[in-house]
Amino acid sequence: MSNAGDIAWVLVASALVLFMTPGLALFYGGLVRNKNVITTMYQVISVALVISIQWVLFGYSLAFGPDVAHVIGNLHFALFYHVGMQPDPSYSSTLPSELFAIFQMMFAIITPAVIVGGLAERVKFSSFIVFALAWSTLIYDPLVHWVWGAGGFLRQLHVLDFAGGTVVEMASGIAGLVCAMYLGKRHGHGSGAIKAHNVPLVIIGTGILWFGWFGFNAGSALAANGVAINAFLTTNTAAAASGIAWVIIERYKTGHASIVGAAAGVVSGLVAVTPASGFINPGASIILGIIAGIISYFFSTMFKGHFGYDDALDAFGAHGIGGTWGMIATGLFATVAVNAGGGNGAFAGDFHQLFIELLSIVVTWLYCGVGTYVLLKIIDLAMGIRVTPEEEKIGLDMVLHNENAYPENLTWDVATNLFESLKHGSLQQPVQQLEEEIKPTPFE
C-alpha cells in the first residue's frame, strides 16, 4: 500500500538528484578552459534531454522490467506501459511504480553526464550525443538490471550497493578513463598546467552536488525512515572527512591548500560513500571518507601524471576510484545493526559479503571498460569522434556552438586563430559575420 510520507520524500529526493545535473555542469564548466565552457556544460545538460526520453521509451524497461536470463529486462514497461500507481513489491512496498521509475530516471541522467569529465574539450557534440545514448542503453541499463533489477544475477548474489557505487560511480568513472585513453591528450596538455578557469563556478557546482547528494543517497532508502536518516548523516560525514583529508595531503605535497582541492575532496567522499551510506554507521563513514580523500588525491594527481593519460576533470580519479573503494568499504563496514535488509561486512564477521562486493567490482570494471571501448571505436569509425586540432586550438564553444561564455574576454590569440581558420575555409562561418560580432570587443 502506498505511503504518503514515503511518496513525498522520494518526490523531493528525485528533484534533488535532477538538480545535481546542472550542479555537475557548473562544476565541470568551471574546471575547463574558458574557450570550452559552453560545450562542456552543454554536454552535461544534453544528457538530461536525451536520457529523459530514452528512459520512458525503453530504458526503464531494460533496467527494471521482467527478467530475461538474469541479464536484462524485457520491454514489458516500454513507454511506461504497466507502470502505474500501484507499488511493485520487487522494488518498494510503499511507492507507486511510476514514482520509483521517476527516481531511477534521475540516476540514469547523471551517470553518462559524469563521463564528460574524461572526454572534455576534444569531442564532437554530435558524436557525444550518440555515445551517451548508446552507452546508456548498452552499458548502464544492463548493469542496473544486474545489480538492482529483480532477477539480476548480482542482486541474486546479494550484492550490497545502496545508491550506485557500481552502476553510477564505477561505471561512469571507468568509462571516463577509457574515453581519456582512447581520445588522447588535449591540445596544450603537458606544455603547462591547465587550471580551473573559474573557481567560483566550481564551488557553486560543488555546493549543488553536495546538496543534491542527500536525495541521491538518503532517497535510495525509498522511504522516510531510519535508514534514510542514517544515509543522510553518513553522506555528509564522509564528504567532510574526505575534503579534510584531501586538503591536508595537498598542503603536505604542494605547500598550499586550495579550495578547488577541498571541493574535489568533498566530491570524492560523496562518491565513495554512495554504495555504503545505507549500510554503515557514522564512525565507519569517517574512516571511509578519509581514505577516499587520500586515494582520490593520488589517482587524480600523481598516478595520472605518471601514466600520462588526460582524464581532464578526473572522472576516473573521483568516480572510478572512489566508487571502487566505496564498494570495498561496504564489504568491510556494512552491518545489519544499521540496515536489517542489508548484511554484515567483514568487520562484522561475514567475509563472504566482501567477496561478493569484490566480484561486483571485477564485473563492472570488465563490462564497462570493454563495452565503452567498443562503442567509442564504432562511433569513431562511423562518424568520427574527436574534433580537429585546429578546432580544438580555437575552442569548441565558438567552433561547435557559435557562443562564447565570456565575449568581453576574447583573447587576441583566440581571435587571430579563428580568423585565420575562417579565411582558409576550414570552418563554415563567414569571416565578415564573425568580425562584426566581435569587432566592438576589446582584445586582451
For 298-319, the DSSP string reads HHHTHHHHHHT---TT-IIIII
Closest by CA position to 162, among listed 61, 232, 74: 232
Which pTM value belongs to this model? 0.92
- Is the confidence at residue 41, as pLDDT, over 60? yes
pLDDT digits (tens, 9 = 90+) for 288-335: 999 999 999 999 998 888 888 999 999 999 999 999 999 999 999 999
Residue 378 sits in which domain range? 4-383
Q: How far apart are CA 184 and CA 309, in angstroms?
A: 7
Q: How far apart are CA 96 and CA 111, in angstroms?
A: 24
Establish if 398 belongs to a structural domain: no
For residue 443, the model assigns a pLDDT of 33
- Is the confidence at residue 435, as pLDDT, over 70? no
- How many domains does the chain fold into? 2
| Residue 84 burial (C-beta neighbours within 10 Å; 0-12, 13-18, 19+) | exposed
For residue 411, the model assigns a pLDDT of 54
| Cell digits of residue 369 | 571498460
Question: Do 244 and 160 fall within a single domain?
Answer: yes
CATH of residue 295:
1.10.3430.10
Question: Do 17 and 133 fall within a single domain?
Answer: yes
Establish if 389 belongs to a structural domain: no
Establish if 159 belongs to a structural domain: yes
Question: Do 347 and 431 fall within a single domain?
Answer: no
Question: Do 284 and 145 fall within a single domain?
Answer: yes
Question: Do 432 and 328 fall within a single domain?
Answer: no
Closest by CA position to 184, among listed 392, 37, 29: 392
| Cβ partners under 8 Å of residue 250, min gap 6 | 256, 257, 258, 261, 297
Question: Do 431 and 377 fall within a single domain?
Answer: no
| Cell digits of residue 353 | 559479503
pLDDT digits (tens, 9 = 90+) for 393-433: 999 999 999 898 987 665 545 555 665 665 566 555 544 44
pLDDT digits (tens, 9 = 90+) for 265-284: 999 999 999 999 999 999 99
Question: Do 209 and 60 fall within a single domain?
Answer: yes
Establish if 109 belongs to a structural domain: yes
Establish if 396 belongs to a structural domain: no
Establish if 178 belongs to a structural domain: yes
| Cell digits of residue 387 | 574534433
Question: Do 186 and 244 fall within a single domain?
Answer: yes
Question: Do 278 and 421 fall within a single domain?
Answer: no
- Is the confidence at residue 367, as pLDDT, over 70? yes
Question: Do 272 and 414 fall within a single domain?
Answer: no
**CA dihedral for 153, 156, 159, 164, sign (positive or negative):** positive
Q: How far apart are CA 206 and CA 251, in angstroms?
A: 20
For residue 425, the model assigns a pLDDT of 60
Q: What are phi and psi of 123, to 5 degrees?
A: -120, 140
Question: Do 284 and 430 fall within a single domain?
Answer: no
Question: Do 364 and 413 fall within a single domain?
Answer: no
Residue identified by cell 561547435 is 400
Establish if 444 belongs to a structural domain: no
| Residue 192 burial (C-beta neighbours within 10 Å; 0-12, 13-18, 19+) | exposed
Reported as half-sphere exposure (CB side, CA atoms, 13 A), residue 413 has a value of: 5
